[in-house]
Amino acid sequence: MIDSQNKTDQHAVYVQKMFNRIAQRYDLMNFLMTAGQDSHWRRDVIQLAHIPADGLILDIGAGTGDLSQEALHQHSGCQPIAADFTLEMMRVGRRNTSNRILWSAADATHLPFEDQIFDAVISGFLLRNVTDLPMALSEQYRVLKTGGRLVCLDTTKPKPNLFTPLVSFHLNTAIPLLGKLIVGDGEAYTYLPQSTQQFLYAEELAEKLNQAHFKQVAFKRTMFGTIAIHWGVK
């Protein structure tokens, strides 16, 4: 049990340090890796969140705050709280996003917020990196109001198809090379594709949402099956 906890803690520290290293070029790399599609996915996340005009929303694993910024773009009266456990990512976000976004240091598995206070909880590329997925989902369920929505954008393990060789080349060759050239950190951009391939199929993540007591759970895939947006209602 102790060894398992140590491995969990070591993974969390590794992920935190990695995102601190790549924070300055994180948004640029997302744009390049996704051929600019990441902005469309963020738009879809906010539309699916059904945020009230003056809603309070939690953007967990917010990184540089792009989802919170999109929430303000679509719902100017809402109040986003962008929460992350990587200080450098939040520093970059505070420089580049609206001063109306509130920032909070937070661990996704132990959220520092009261029960049932958020109208929506959103995340982008968080869940595959958390050390305890059931706990992270349980925490998001806890802080949501009844009737509130969780919407999460993340990578998903792609099913074999006609594009599998192209997807494999992109994940295992193109992305690490871009990471080395643009960020100077090939290791980080080797980990990120690997975490995609080791993460759950979209159907499996949907079942995790069901197990966390979310209702009306659904998802849609994009980017040759490597990206999925899931949603559910408390």
- Supply the CATH number for residue 68's domain: 3.40.50.150
- Residues in the chain, pLDDT under 50: 1-2
Tokens of 43: 């738009």
**Predicted pLDDT at 173:** 80
SS3 state of residue 67: helix
Closest CA to 30 of 104, 135, 124: 124
- For residue 226, what are the contacts with CB-CB under 8 A and spacing of at least 6? 155, 156, 158, 167, 171, 196
SS3 state of residue 218: strand
Is residue 151 a part of any domain in this protein? yes
- The alpha carbon dihedral of 44, 120, 159, 170 has a sign of positive
**Predicted pLDDT at 8:** 67
CA-to-CA distance for 34 and 56, rounded, in angstroms?
Answer: 29
**Predicted pLDDT at 187:** 80
Is residue 166 a part of any domain in this protein? no
Is residue 188 a part of any domain in this protein? no
What's the whole-model pTM score? 0.89
Is residue 97 a part of any domain in this protein? yes
Is residue 174 a part of any domain in this protein? no
Is residue 75 a part of any domain in this protein? yes
**Predicted pLDDT at 12:** 75
Whether the Cβ atoms of residue 93 and residue 82 lie closer than 8 Å to each other: yes
- For residue 49, what are the contacts with CB-CB under 8 A and spacing of at least 6? 57, 71, 120, 122, 149, 151, 231
**Predicted pLDDT at 5:** 60
- For residue 153, what are the contacts with CB-CB under 8 A and spacing of at least 6? 41, 42, 44, 45, 67, 123, 124, 125, 227, 228, 229
- Residue 202 dihedral angles phi and psi, to the nearest 5°: -55, -40
Domain count, the chain: 1
Domain assignment of residue 47, given as a range = 2-157+201-233
Is residue 167 a part of any domain in this protein? no
**Predicted pLDDT at 3:** 55
Whether the Cβ atoms of residue 120 and residue 140 lie closer than 8 Å to each other: no
Helix pair 2-22, 87-96: axis angle to 10 deg: 30
Is residue 126 a part of any domain in this protein? yes
